[in-house]
Structure 1
Amino acid sequence: MKYRVLIVDDEALLVRTLSQAFRDAGYDVVTAGSAEDAKEILDSTEAFDLLLLDNRLPGKSGLELLGEVGKMPETRIVLMTAYDTDETYKESIRLGADLYLSKPFDLKALLSKASELVAKGAGA
Structure 2
Amino acid sequence: MDDKILLVDDEKGILTMLENLLNQEGYTQIATASSGNEALHLVENVAFDLIVLDVMLPDIDGFELCQQIRKITSVPILFLTALTGDLDKLMGLGIGGDDYITKPFNPLEVAARIRAQLRRQNLNKSSYVGQEEEILDFGVFTVHKSAGQLIVNGFDRHCTAKEFELLVFLCEHPNRIFTAQQLYEQVWGSALQGDEKTVVIHISKLRKKIEKDPANPGILVNIRGLGYKFVPPCKG
TM-score by length of 2: 0.50
Q: Which residue of 2 aligns with 1:12?
A: 12
With 63-72 and 106-115 compared, the bigger mean Cα shift is at 63-72
Q: Which residue of 1 aligns with 2:41?
A: 40
Give the Cα–Cα distance (whole angstroms) in 2 for the partners of residues 79 and 61 of structure 1. Answer: 12
Q: Do the aligned residues in 2 keep the contact of 1:79 with 1:97 (CA within 8 Å)? A: yes
Give the Cα–Cα distance (whole angstroms) in 1 for the partners of residues 5 and 12 of structure 2. Answer: 17
Higher Rg: 2
1:123 positional shift: 2.6
Give the Cα–Cα distance (whole angstroms) in 1 for the partners of residues 120 and 95 of structure 2. Answer: 19
CA deviations over 1:8-35 (Å, ceiling 9, x no partner): 0010111110111111111111000011
Give the Cα–Cα distance (whole angstroms) in 1 for the partners of residues 10 and 89 of structure 2. Answer: 20
What letter corresponds to residue 62 of structure 1 in structure 2? G
Q: Do the aligned residues in 2 keep the contact of 1:54 with 1:81 (CA within 8 Å)? A: yes
Q: Do the aligned residues in 2 keep the contact of 1:5 with 1:50 (CA within 8 Å)? A: yes
What letter corresponds to residue 110 of structure 1 in structure 2? V
Q: Which residue of 2 aligns with 1:81?
A: 81
Q: Which residue of 2 aligns with 1:109?
A: 109
Q: Which residue of 1 aligns with 2:215?
A: none
The structure richer in helix per residue is 1
Higher RCO, Cα 8 Å, sep 6+? 1
What letter corresponds to residue 106 of structure 1 in structure 2? N
What letter corresponds to residue 32 of structure 1 in structure 2? A
Q: Which residue of 2 aligns with 1:21?
A: 21
Q: Which residue of 2 aligns with 1:53?
A: 53
> Which SS does the other structure have where 1:97 is aligned?
coil
1:113 positional shift: 1.3
What letter corresponds to residue 6 of structure 2 in structure 1? L
Q: Which ranges in structure 1 are unaligned for 5 or more consecutive residues? A: none
1:62 positional shift: 1.1
How many residue pairs match? The answer is 122
Q: Do the aligned residues in 2 keep the contact of 1:81 with 1:103 (CA within 8 Å)? A: yes
1:76 positional shift: 1.5
Give the Cα–Cα distance (whole angstroms) in 2 for the partners of residues 36 and 65 of structure 1. Answer: 9
Q: Which residue of 2 aligns with 1:94?
A: 94
Give the Cα–Cα distance (whole angstroms) in 2 for the partners of residues 87 and 107 of structure 1. Answer: 24
What letter corresponds to residue 20 of structure 1 in structure 2? N
> Which SS does the other structure have where 2:7 is aligned?
strand
Q: 4+ runs of 1 displaced by more than 4 Å?
A: none
> Which SS does the other structure have where 2:105 is aligned?
coil
Give the Cα–Cα distance (whole angstroms) in 2 for the partners of residues 5 and 44 of structure 1. Answer: 13
TM-score by length of 1: 0.91
Q: Which ranges in structure 2 are unaligned for 5 or more consecutive residues? A: 125-236
Q: Which residue of 1 aligns with 2:32?
A: 31
What letter corresponds to residue 17 of structure 2 in structure 1? T
> Which SS does the other structure have where 1:118 is aligned?
helix
CA deviations over 1:55-106 (Å, ceiling 9, x no partner): 0000111111111121633x22110111212121111111221110110111
